[in-house]
């Protein structure tokens, strides 16, 4: 049945429907644990769960084509899949990592923003560079690189632009008043 993902045109309609149901079930189960998850990462994870030893681009694309558009948020930071259509709007959590488990671009901007709010709430106002450094460590990014720094800078700028955090006149980052 797994070959349907590799060569769906070779299978009869009933086999394709069984494979589709299995695929949707696996996607749902992965999302229940991993959402939000970057779309390509989700597709590769699903292929691994289904037993594929080699994760080929056509298989990844088949899985991505099955994703419900209403569960996907798209931004300059990537395409992220959520367990439910409104989860992105209501999600206030983030997942701390002591080791680098995900690549920087595999973390939803909402997750970074939630972590930033937590950092400021926990530590008080900080200098922007201290915020970025603490944010890096929250996700297990111990080694700096140009690419990582650029991504964290972009996330930080996004958080400021969207009002998640604010920079005061004295240059410190805080959580904006919600009055």
pLDDT tens sequence across 70-115? 999 999 999 999 999 999 999 999 998 877 789 999 999 999 999 9
Contacts of 93 (CB under 8 A, 6+ apart): 111, 114
pLDDT of residue 1: 42
In a shared domain, residues 38 and 57: yes
Q: Within this chain, do residues 24 and 65 fall inside the same structural domain, yes or no?
A: yes
Where is the domain boundary, 21, 56, 85? 85
Is a pLDDT exceeding 60 seen at residue 165?
yes
- How confident is the model over 39-67, as pLDDT tens digits? 999 999 999 998 888 898 988 998 999 99
Residue 146 lies in a domain: yes
Range of the domain at 72: 3-85
User: Is there a domain that residue 158 lies in?
Assistant: yes
Give the per-residue pLDDT at 128. 97
pLDDT value, residue 97: 84
pTM check: above 0.85: yes
Residue 104: partners with Cβ closer than 8 Å, 6 or more residues away: 139, 141, 147, 148, 151, 152
Q: Which pair of tokens denotes residue 76?
A: 């300059």
Give the number of other CB atoms < 10 A from CB of residue 76.
7
Contacts of 49 (CB under 8 A, 6+ apart): 26, 30
Q: Which of 85, 119, 134 is the last residue of a domain?
A: 85
Last residue of a domain, one of 51, 85, 119: 85
Q: Which residues contact 43 (CB under 8 A, 6 or more apart)?
A: 59, 60, 61, 63, 64
Residues 77 and 104 grouped into a single domain: no
Predicted confidence at residue 11, as pLDDT, reads 62
Please write the tens of the pLDDT for every residue from 104-161: 999 999 999 999 999 999 999 999 999 999 999 999 998 889 999 999 999 999 999 9
Question: Does 100 lie in the same domain as 80?
Answer: no
Q: What is the structure's pLDDT at 19?
A: 79
**98 and 52 fall within a common domain:** no
Instruction: Specify burial of residue 161 (Cβ count, 10 A radius: 0-12, 13-18, 19+).
Output: exposed
- Whether the per-residue pLDDT at 17 is higher than 90: the answer is no
Query: Domain count of the chain?
Result: 2
pLDDT at position 179: 36
Show Cβ contacts of residue 38 under 8 Å, excluding neighbours closer than 6 positions. Answer: 78, 79, 80, 81, 102, 105, 106, 107, 108
Q: What is the pLDDT of residue 177?
A: 80
Q: Can you give the pLDDT at residue 4?
A: 54
């Amino acid at each position: 049945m797994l070959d349907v993902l590799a060569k769906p045109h070779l299978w009869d309609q009933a086999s394709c429907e069984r494979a589709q149901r299995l695929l949707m079930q696996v996607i749902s189960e992965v999302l229940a644990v991993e959402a939000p998850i970057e779309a390509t990462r989700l597709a590769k994870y699903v292929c691994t769960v289904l037993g594929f030893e080699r994760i080929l681009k056509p298989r990844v694309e088949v899985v991505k084509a099955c994703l419900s558009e209403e569960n996907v948020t798209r931004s300059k930071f990537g395409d992220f899949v959520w367990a439910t259509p409104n989860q992105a709007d209501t999600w206030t959590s983030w997942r701390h990592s002591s080791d680098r488990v995900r690549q920087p671009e595999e973390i939803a901007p909402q997750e970074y923003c939630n972590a930033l709010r937590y950092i400021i709430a926990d530590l008080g106002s900080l200098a922007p560079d201290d915020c970025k450094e603490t944010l890096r460590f929250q996700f297990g990014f111990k080694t700096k690189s140009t690419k990582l720094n650029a991504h964290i800078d972009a996330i930080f700028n996004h958080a400021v632009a969207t009002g998640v955090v604010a920079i005061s006149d004295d240059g410190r980052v805080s959580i904006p008043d919600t009055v």
